[in-house]
Amino acid sequence: MEFWESSFIEKQMMWGFAPTDSAILAKDLFLERNANDILLPGIGYGRNAKVFIENGIAVTGIEISQTAIDLARKNGINCKIYHGSVTEMPFDSKQYDGIFSHALLHLLNKEERATFIKDCYHQLKPGATMMFTTVSKKAPMFGKGKQLDQDYFETKDGVKLFFYDADSIKQEFSEYGLEAFSEIDEPNKDSDNKPPITFLMIRCKKSTGVL
């Protein structure tokens, strides 16, 4: 928590305010599937929330950094945001039409990831879709820093990252309605000098028979 709070204090809107390409794709799918009310765990300062809100989708966020929440408010993001860690989910008893979480899953350890995926699934309405973008083993940071476990590394800044591939996605998502996953190269929209990062976009659909 301290890392993200100090990062947002120091760097403010460190990724700019343009939505990620994956958020734009998620918005299109949610509109296609008539999702009117979605949950964004790790909403940050709201750069991805904006694209959903502007398209008439109600957003609820979860964010660990109060500074990020304050930045979201300054940028006109007025949706409900729970202040806390996704490891403390659920923050409400609602089930949502959709869940989108960008670049958060890979920051959790194995037990936290399993719990987070399960908690998200439980907060989906039957027939609803959840989407995650998570860093791939093809990303330039893979294999750098101190190795903590298989495909799990700590950077020089102290950030712990788990790098996904097809096998780990199937392993962690197969019992949660895994529909599809694909690679997406996310450009750094706030800096032309930095190379894009290869993410994996994971899509799951809750069975209509599951509450």
- Residue 153, pLDDT > 60, answer yes
Contacts of 119 (CB under 8 A, 6+ apart): 86, 89, 90
pLDDT at residue 4, rounded to an integer: 47
Residues 6+ apart with CB under 8 A from 182: 200, 201
CB 37 within 8 A of CB 58: yes
* Per-residue confidence (pLDDT) for residue 144, from 0 to 100: 84
Report the pLDDT averaged over residues 62-74. Answer: 91
pLDDT in tens, 156-209: 778 888 999 999 999 999 999 999 999 888 766 555 566 677 889 999 999 887
Identify the CA nearest to 129 among candidates 37, 47, 33: 33
pLDDT for the residue 154:
86
Q: What are phi and psi of 13, to 5 degrees?
A: -85, 75
pTM equals: 0.87
